[in-house]
């Protein structure tokens, strides 16, 4: 059961979470300085020599630079150049570039060519469809205001019908629910909240995320095991759904406690950026 925050707890939440307008708080400044100092010479972020690691790291850093008003700086611009120069072929990578840069062109044409006859996506053309590639493609189409409502509607219908009995989502239909996938799908449904009636799916998915709360105060797919990236993703989306529960408050406190002296989380740009996104959120007014 969700426990509603008391007025005192709501006030405490406001003292914990800073808004975008307070991006120069010491905690946020330290994290931003860490991110800027760890940018690779080619404009990307991430130490491992793999696009599967570097692209998510770079995208999440670019997002937080946008949120904190740093998108005019050299760090962000160098990252844009890097992202534009990459030869991205898979659905999820194409979708992320389209979404972040809000541009279609050849990327959009290739992304749409991967769509099957039921308006869904797999990793490449003729690959088996899955929830992750479909949900990221829908996010990309939303970012560029794609006007084909049939395409978007069919994809959204697929997402709602693949919700598990515990109200979460896995990578593919029938997979066990994970915090990452549930938060990612929930984020997408929220993008279309004003157009489609997803209140039932949103409410139940939020309850699924709350049920993954761990004794440490964070969230994790594995019982009793907190994962920082899952905690950040779940907390961020629960704030967006206005889930005023004690679990959200303790997760924020947990994320604060993970900041290292150099401003990072786990000495990783990806984890640092995800946690920083939470720290730039505001809690909605209590009912």
Distance CA 169, CA 190 (A): 15
CB neighbours of 79 closer than 8 A, spacing ≥ 6?
A: 39, 43, 44, 45, 58, 61, 62, 65
When pLDDT is averaged across residues 59-72 and rounded to a whole number, the result is: 97
pLDDT of residue 24: 66
- Angle subtended at Cα 131 by Cα 128 and Cα 132, rounded to the nearest 5 degrees: 100
Nearest partner of 151 among 110, 186, 117, judged by Cα = 117
When pLDDT is averaged across residues 66-93 and rounded to a whole number, the result is: 97
| Alpha carbon separation from 3 to 76, 144, 230, 254 (Å, rounded) | 40, 38, 21, 18
When pLDDT is averaged across residues 14-40 and rounded to a whole number, the result is: 74
23: confidence class by pLDDT, cuts 50, 70, 90? very low
When pLDDT is averaged across residues 215-236 and rounded to a whole number, the result is: 95
Nearest partner of 255 among 31, 6, 23, judged by Cα = 31
Asked which of 4-18, 103-117, 132-146, 174-188 is least confident by mean pLDDT, the reply is 4-18
Is the pLDDT confidence value at 200 over 50? yes
**Tokens standing for 176?**
């066990």
| Alpha carbon separation from 224 to 170, 176, 211, 266 (Å, rounded) | 19, 17, 11, 19
When pLDDT is averaged across residues 115-135 and rounded to a whole number, the result is: 93
Is the pLDDT confidence value at 2 over 70? no
Q: CA end-to-end span of the chain, whole Å?
A: 18
- The three-state secondary structure class of 217 is coil
pLDDT of residue 10: 33
Is the pLDDT confidence value at 11 over 80? no
């Amino acid at each position: 059961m969700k426990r509603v925050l008391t007025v005192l707890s709501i006030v405490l939440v406001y003292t914990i979470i800073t808004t975008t307008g307070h991006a120069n708080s010491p905690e946020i400044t330290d994290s931003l300085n860490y991110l800027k100092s760890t940018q690779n010479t080619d404009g990307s972020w991430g130490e491992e020599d793999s696009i599967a690691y570097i692209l998510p790291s770079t995208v999440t850093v670019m997002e937080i630079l946008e949120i904190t008003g740093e998108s005019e700086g050299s760090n962000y611009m160098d990252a844009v150049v890097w992202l534009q120069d990459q030869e991205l072929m898979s659905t999820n990578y194409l979708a992320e570039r389209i979404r972040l840069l809000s541009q279609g062109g050849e990327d959009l044409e290739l992304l749409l060519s991967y769509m099957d006859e039921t308006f869904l996506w797999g990793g490449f053309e003729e690959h088996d469809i899955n929830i992750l590639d479909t949900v990221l493609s829908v996010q990309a189409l939303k970012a560029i205001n794609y006007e084909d409502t049939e395409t978007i509607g069919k994809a959204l219908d697929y997402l709602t019908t693949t919700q598990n009995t515990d109200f979460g989502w896995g990578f593919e239909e029938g997979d066990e629910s994970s915090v990452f996938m549930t938060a990612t799908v929930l984020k997408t449904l929220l993008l279309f909240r004003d157009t489609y009636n997803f209140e039932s799916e949103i409410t139940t998915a939020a309850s699924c995320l709350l049920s993954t709360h761990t004794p440490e105060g964070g969230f994790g797919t594995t019982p009793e095991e907190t994962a920082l990236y899952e905690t950040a993703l779940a907390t961020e989306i629960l704030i967006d759904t206005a889930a005023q529960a004690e679990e959200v408050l303790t997760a924020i406190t947990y994320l604060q406690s993970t900041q290292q002296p150099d401003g990072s989380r786990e000495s990783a740009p990806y984890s640092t950026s995800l946690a920083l996104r939470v720290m730039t959120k505001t809690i909605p007014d209590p009912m």
